[in-house]
Structure 1
């Protein structure tokens, strides 16, 4: 199975259910559908279709990581930011980091590879996933993210993303 909305009903929480929850909480978003995006390069190829000129937007890449003590982390960064896992582990104070498996990703964040997103913390908080976000998000007007599937993108105001984290009880640790 891929990470598109075609298979969303096999996830612990479907993309449709997440969007309905955002609606219920009064957290507005713009929804865009597109071909499945698996990489930052894929995203860059289509983002021009729905970017608003002059909008102070943060487009992200997301890393699901584990340390040697089997603790899980979701790290959300500005999509062009270079990252060294060894340096990141030292910065987070957790030692060596490695990518988590597809099975653990589904178990801990309720998503498949290619759809990793800060919105997956709706599942991650229940599984003790620690969340780190690029401090660049603090200055963004809007943030572009997948809503648990990789053939959809939601655009939310930064303040609404923070309200989402508050609603689900997710602590955001900012990365400089």
Structure 2
């Protein structure tokens, strides 16, 4: 199974159910469908099809990480930002970080590789996943992210994204 909406019914929470929940909470978003995106390069190839010209937007990449104590982290960064895992672990005071396995990703965030997204914290908060986000999101008007599958992208205003985190009880730690 891949991370596309074709298999969303095999997820603990489907993309359709997530979007319906967001609507019930009064959160607005723009939904875009596209070919499955597995990498930042894939995303850059199609984002001009749905991004609004002149929009103060943040396009993100997401890392599911673990430390030696088996604690789980979701780190969301501006998509072009370079990251050094060793330096990040030291900066956060959590030691060495490594990428989590596909099985742990599914277990802790309820998604498959290629669909990692801040919206997966709807599952992650129940599994003690800590969430870190690039401080650049505090300046963006709109943030683009996957709604648990990689053939859809939603555009959320910063205010609606923060309202989502409040609704699910997700603490955001900002990365400078």
Q: Same fold by TM (over 0.5)?
A: yes
Structure 1 equivalent of residue 80 of structure 2: 80
Structure 2 distance, partners of 1:54, 1:25, is: 28
Partner of 2:67: 67
Q: How does 1:20-99 map to 2 (within 5 A)?
A: 20-99=20-99
2:13 corresponds in structure 1 to 13
Task: Tell me the CA shift for residue 39 of structure 1.
Answer: 0.2
Aligned equivalents of 2:109, 2:28: Cα separation in 1: 22
Q: Deviations over 1:111-133 (max 9, x none)?
A: 00000000000000000000000
SS in 2 for 1:31: strand
Q: Residue 113 of structure 2 corresponds to which residue in structure 1? A: 113
RMSD of the TM alignment (CA)? 0.2
- Distance in 2 of aligned mates of 1:100 and 1:150: 18
State the secondary structure of the residue aligned to 2:108.
helix
- Partner residue, 1:122: 122
Q: Secondary structure at the match of 2:9?
A: helix
Deviations 1:10-60 (A, max 9, x none): 000000000000000000000000000000000000000001011000000
What are the ranges of 5 or more consecutive residues in structure 1 without an aligned counterpart?
none
Q: Which segments of 5 or more consecutive residues in structure 2 lack a partner in the other structure?
A: none
Residues matched between the structures, number? 176
1:86 Cα offset (Å): 0.2
Match of 1:152 in 2: 152
Give distance in 2, aligned partners of 1:5 and 1:50.
18
Residue 93 of structure 1: how far off its partner (Å): 0.6
CA distance in 1, matches of 2:104, 2:91: 23
Tell me the equivalent position of 1:174: 174
